[in-house]
Amino acid sequence: MEIEAILCHTDVGTTQRFYIKTVWKDVEDAMKQLERKIYRAPRALEWIDENVQPDAQWFGITLVVEHRYAWALAQGMTDERLVLA
């Protein structure tokens, strides 16, 4: 009931349909692989420090990125010759 109050929905089903997303296993595996590569690449971490706002959210060593910003971040890293592989 607390979630309904926060999101102003009268039906928890609305919250489940629009806000609770499942992550496909292959997407999760790919993100973990990318995380490991970035964590081991000091230049990538420097780039993040220089280009990502200081109050960005982190989940462990993973930068939390809204999907609408992911492409721009990847493009910026590519422009700096950081290889996303």
pTM of the model: 0.48
Reported as a single tens digit per residue, the pLDDT across 50-67 is 998 889 888 877 788 888
Residue spans per domain, the chain: 23-85
Residues of the chain with pLDDT under 70: 1-11, 15, 18-23, 36-40, 84-85
Closest CA to 80 of 53, 39, 56, 45: 45
In the predicted model, what is the mean pLDDT of the chain? 75
- Strands 58-59 and 62-63 turn out to be antiparallel
CA distance 28 to 74: 17
- Count of Cβ atoms closer than 10 Å to residue 77 Cβ: 19
